[in-house]
Structures are given as C-alpha cells and as structure tokens.
Chains A and B, each alone.
Chain A
Amino acid sequence: EIVMTQSPATLSVSPGERATLSCRASQSVSSNLAWYQQKPGQAPRLLIYGASTRATGIPARFSGSGSGTEFTLTISSLQSEDFAVYYCQQYNNWPPASYTFGQGTKLEIK
C-alpha cells in the first residue's frame, strides 16, 4: 500500500502570507495526486488534481506542484477562508484500487 505523509501536521501562518504544505508518497505516484480542503463541519472540497490542475472555481492563489513522490500545495496570499485542514490523496495504482490519503495538515491563523 502506498503511504502518504503530510508535513507539517499544523502550520501557523498570518493572513496575507504564503503557506506551503508538503505531501510525500512512499513510492512514485507519477502526477496522480489530488488536494482537498476541509473546513470544520463541512465535507472535503477538491482543490487540485493531476498534482497541479486547479479544480473548477478554485482561486488562482492555490497552486500545486510536484511529481513522483514529492508534492507541494502553495497558497500564495492567505485569506481568512483558507484556514482549514488540507489532505493529499494519491490515485495511482489500478488494479487493485488504491486511494490513500495523507493524515492532513491543519492550517491555522498565526
């Protein structure tokens, strides 16, 4: 099973600053990586797929990069609504079905 490891577990950043979140895969997943945002009491929302493509309606301040085993989600200028938990997810192996998530990074206001 491919293990996804996110760092840091918690990131404290001031509004207006840049946030950089990391995700590492235990083996190569090519560019088969997605990022999701989850706010308290809400379902996750797709932000990025294919490692770097923004989903429909996602602001340009969100960007994804990386391939293979190392990935980054960058939020260029944090807005108040961006403070949430972020998960990465790989979807590389088929078959068998393999959809593993990282443990999440909580982005909190500094």
Chain B
Amino acid sequence: EVHLVESGGVVVQPGGSLRLSCAASGFTFDDYTMHWVRQAPGKGLEWVSLITWDGGSTFYADSVKGRFTISRDNSRNSLYLRMNSVRTDDSALYYCTKERLRYFDSWGQGTRVTVSS
C-alpha cells in the first residue's frame, strides 16, 4: 500500500524560509514523477511543482517560480520542497502526490504552512 507522509509545515513570517519533506513507502519511489499540490484554507486545489523520477526535470507553477525548489533523494525515498521568500498567500495545506500517467493516484495527508507575522 502506498504511503506518503508529509512533514515540516510550520508558522513562518513573511519573507522567511522552510523545507517540507515527504516520506514515501509502498512503491518503487524512483520509478515515479512526484508533485506538490496545495490547498489554501477553504479553497480549491492548486498544483505547485513536479520533479521527474531521476530529478532531471523540475517544473513550477508561476505563483512559486523562483521562490520554491523541489528536490528528491531516491536513496531515502523522500521528496522535498524548499520554500523561500514566503508570502501570506503561500499559506496552505501542502500535499505530496504520486503521479501516474500525469494524474495523481496517491496523496499524503498534507502538512500545514501558515505565513503570518
């Protein structure tokens, strides 16, 4: 069974930095492209970023480009999201998701990021 467990969500001040982590198990991690998707309180889903199986390609939503960096460590079955220069509108529940044929077939339970002074 696929398990994705996110961590690292905190309360951070505007302009600050943090790193989210996602521990994966139950599947061959380095076979899959992985994503981060976020959901602001009471709002819908927003795709944030993806990284291909080998880390060779990364893509970002325009809203986070230049501020967030996605990475992975296949030896640790882990996915990361480095968030710099955070803004209040980055406040959200951040989900780690596994891609299958470009849709998301498994989701973690999310980690909450609150950007507030």
List the interface of chain A (C-beta within 8 A of B): 32, 34, 36, 42-46, 49, 55, 87, 89, 91, 94-97, 99-104
Contact = CB atoms under 8 A, between A and B. Distances in A.
A91 B38 CA distance: 17
A97 B44 contact: no
A102 B46 CA distance: 9
* Interface majority SS (helix, strand, loop, mixed), chain A: loop
Contacts of B101: 49
User: What 3 A-B pairs are tightest by C-beta distance, nearest first?
Assistant: A97-B59, A91-B102, A34-B103
Interface residues of B, number: 19
Contacts of A89: 45, 103-104
Nearest to B4: A43
A97 B50 contact: yes
Nearest to B101: A49
Contacts of B103: 34, 46, 49, 89, 91
Interface of B: 35, 44-47, 50, 59, 95, 100-110
Contact of B44 (A87, A96, A99): A87
Contact of B108 (A34, A43, A45, A49): A43
Nearest to B50: A97
Contacts of A46: 103-106
Contacts of B100: 49
A101 B103 CA distance: 11
Contacts of B105: 46, 49, 55
A12 B63 CA distance: 34
12 contacts: A34-B104, A36-B45, A42-B109, A44-B45, A44-B104, A44-B107, A49-B100, A49-B103, A97-B50, A99-B102, A100-B47, A104-B45
Among A34, A55, A91, A99, chain B packs the most CB atoms within 10 A around the CB of A99
A99 B47 contact: yes
Nearest to A34: B103
